[in-house]
Amino acid sequence: MPELPEVETIVRDLQKRIIGRKITGVTVPFPGIIANPVEEFCKDLVEAHFERLHRRGKIILADLSSGATLLIHLGMTGRLLLVPSSAPFEKHTHVLLNLGPDEHLRYVDVRRFGFLLTLGKNEVSNLLEGKKLGQEPFSIPEQEFCERLSTRKANIKAVLLNQTVVAGIGNIYADEILHRAGINPLLRAADLRTSQVKRLYRTMVEVLTEAIERKGSSVSDYVDASGRKGRYQDYHRVYRRTGQPCITCGTHITRKIIAGRSTHFCRVCQPFTKE
């Protein structure tokens, strides 16, 4: 489940290792994972150098010397791995980029919810605008965050998962952020008091920052580009801790489907009442 901290970890790891390097060949064992015509995709990539690597929400963006940008979304189970060419060929490997004779950048994705795509410069901003992707949690001003929540009548859990409100939060971090803020996931966003929204803003930044420091959460099969697991799962206070005692008050953690997703929270620390 790559969310913002996992994607950020992958980008930072790869920045050190692929900037300036040339893509000498492209193989696409499963073309269905490529969102533009495969011929175009390969043409944009072959012989191009990686010039810049960055992230927008959960999307990885690689600017290439060909003028194109390679855009990668990992979906639920996508993994981007930088491995020796001789590394065993994993099942569900859908794309291979040769970086010279010795190394591969491989895209592996069991459930195939992810995708890869090459776009021109303008097309990238068009796509992000078209998706109406929200601001980054680290750059949205507090006041704007408050304003965006104030018009939302959906429950706060759904609003945090909504990528058009703020980009990058998924199921794990939505639960962790709400617990730390002491806010019940079922409360409507617009009903939250200003003090609650401010606390939510602060804990959002705190939780995501700490998760990045711990290199993300490895709850299913997440690993970074070097195959290393994250450690933030060891610091989860609610996510997948159903029935276990709340770190704060000892009450057992409740699990309930909210916004169509497994939601974990403490009934006592996150009461269903406004302050």
Interacting residues toward DNA by CB under 7 A: 1-3, 57-59, 73, 75-76, 91-92, 110-113, 131, 151-155, 158-159, 161-163, 170-172, 189, 240, 255, 259-262
Task: Considering the candidates 5, 8, 55, 58, report the single residue annotated as catalytic.
Answer: 58
Q: Is 188 helix (H, G, I), strand (E, B) or coil?
A: strand
Least distance in angstroms from the C-beta of 121 to DNA: 20
Q: Which is nearer to DNA, 171 or 203 (CB)?
A: 171
From the candidates 2, 5, 137, 185, give the one annotated as an active-site residue. 2
Task: For DNA, give the closer residue by CB, 24 or 163.
Answer: 163
Q: How far is CA 2 from the centre of its chain?
A: 4
Query: At its nearest, how many Å lie between DNA and the CB of residue 143?
Result: 17
**Smallest separation, CB 128 to DNA (Å):** 11
244: left (phi over 0), alpha (psi -120 to 50) or beta: beta
Catalytic site includes residue 3: yes
CB nearer to DNA: give 9 or 66. 9
Q: 49 to each of 11, 63, 141, how far by Cα in Å?
A: 16, 9, 35
29 in active site: no
The catalytic position among 3, 6, 8, 103 is: 3
Q: Is 2 marked active-site?
A: yes
**Measured from the CB of residue 131, what is the shortest distance to DNA in angstroms?**
6
Catalytic (active site) residue 214: no
SS3 content of the chain, % helix, strand, coil (to 5): 35, 25, 45
Active site residues: 2-3, 58, 261
